[in-house]
Amino acid sequence: MTRASWVAVALFVGVAEIAALGRTLYPADWIWRLDPLREQYIALAGVTDPHGAERPKVVARLDARYARHPWLTRLHTFLGGTFLLLAPLQFAKRIRDRHRAFHRWSGRVLLGLGTIAGITGLYFGVLVPWAGTFEAVTILLFGSFFFVAGVKAFAAIRRGDVATHRRWMIRAMAIPLGAGSVRVVGLPIDVALTPTGLGPEIGFVVSVWVGWLLTVGAAELWIARTRPG
């Protein structure tokens, strides 16, 4: 189970890093560059997109919210990508046990990175949502959970409660990992929902819920399976 968990973490982190790098390099048209791959996948699946004629406008509208704020976009993707790349080291037992000072100081740095990345993510998801109210409510809900988990984890370690700190850090990590899981489940959900005629905004919100519930649920399962005693 430990090996499978690390494989899943590596997959989600890898997918999220590709997305972060792409949006950092191409803040104004990253989805436009990727969309031909999506069209090929849809064609291979034998699916007809009833909204195909509107697709260029949909993609342009999605890219536009990042194009209007390129440096804020890069701040979010660079710091978020750095956070996701380094945060798994906090859970590596060998590093944590042998290098306690590194674990403490890197944790503080990651807390700062996660806070800024989270705030900028809330800006895009809540104040300028592409999928409207459903997206805004979803991002606000899971984003708030990330901050609450981080605060609880920090408060627990300050009072020396390592067990509680560990539980809340695992929960906090589940939200950034969702940046990868949402994209992993997004394409099959897109293929499944496209023939129904539901708009891409609905598919996006469904993907966000499925991806984040997957990582949050896995975190709770891991906490329950590894709880001392």
The reported pLDDT for the residue numbered 12 is 95
Nearby residues of 175 by Cβ (< 8 Å), 6 or more positions away: 142, 143, 145, 146, 149, 212, 215, 216
CA distance 221 to 226: 9
Number of domains in the chain: 1
Task: Say whether pLDDT at 160 is over 60.
Answer: yes
2-20 pLDDT, tens digit each: 778 889 999 999 999 999 9
Q: What is the pLDDT of residue 217?
A: 95
Q: What is the mean pLDDT of the chain?
A: 91
Q: Is the pLDDT of residue 84 over 70?
A: yes
Write out pLDDT tens, residues 169-200. Answer: 999 999 999 999 999 999 899 989 988 888 88
Lookup: tokens for 119:
């705030």
Burial of residue 143 (number of CB atoms within 10 Å: 0-12, 13-18, 19+): middle
Residues of 30-50 as b/e, b for ≥16 C-beta within 10 angstroms?
Answer: bbeeebeebeeebeeeeeebe
Residue type, position 48, single letter: T
pLDDT in tens, 67-76: 999 999 999 9
Q: How confident is the model at residue 229 (pLDDT cuts 50, 70, 90)?
A: low
pLDDT interval class at 213 (50, 70, 90): very high
pLDDT value, residue 1: 59
pLDDT at 198: 84
For the chain, the residue count is 229
State the residue range of the domain holding 92: 2-226
From CA 115, how far away is CA 95, in angstroms rounded? Answer: 24
pLDDT at 149: 95
